[in-house]
């Protein structure tokens, strides 16, 4: 929330999921492997396949140096 400047969302970041976002999950972008942190529900956090995110999601870089630039 500090980096994205967004409030914690009510629902998971995964497209078509309406479950409550309960934790920050680490994701790797399929195209280049860049890692991000997004709010996920417990179910989607366990996914091991490709999935899409909701359009309004703000991606937060998972690398410490990228996060420091966002402060």
Instruction: Compute the distance between CA of residue 9 and CA of residue 49 in angstroms, rounded to an integer.
Output: 23
Strand ranges of the sheet holding 23-28, from the earlier edge strand across to the other edge: 23-28, 35-40, 60-61
Which residue range forms the structural domain that includes residue 64? 1-71
How far are the Cα atoms of 16, 32, 58, 61 from residue 29, in angstroms, in the given order? 19, 6, 14, 11
User: How much is the pLDDT for 62?
Assistant: 87
User: How much is the pLDDT for 71?
Assistant: 46
User: How much is the pLDDT for 1?
Assistant: 62
Q: Residues 45-54: pLDDT tens digits?
A: 999 999 999 9
Count of structural domains, the chain:
1
Other C-beta atoms closer than 10 Å to the C-beta of 61 total 16
Q: Residues 18-40: pLDDT tens digits?
A: 999 999 999 998 889 889 999 99
Query: What percentage of the chain reaches a pLDDT higher than 70?
Result: 83
In which band, very low, low, confident or very high, does the pLDDT at 63 lie, cut at 50, 70 and 90?
A: confident
């Amino acid at each position: 929330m500090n980096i994205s400047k967004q409030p914690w969302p009510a629902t998971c970041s995964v497209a078509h999921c309406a479950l409550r976002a309960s934790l920050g999950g680490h994701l790797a972008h399929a195209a280049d492997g860049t890692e991000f942190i997004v709010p996920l529900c417990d179910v989607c956090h366990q996914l091991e396949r490709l999935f899409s995110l909701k359009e309004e999601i703000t991606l937060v870089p998972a690398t410490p140096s990228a996060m420091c630039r966002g402060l």
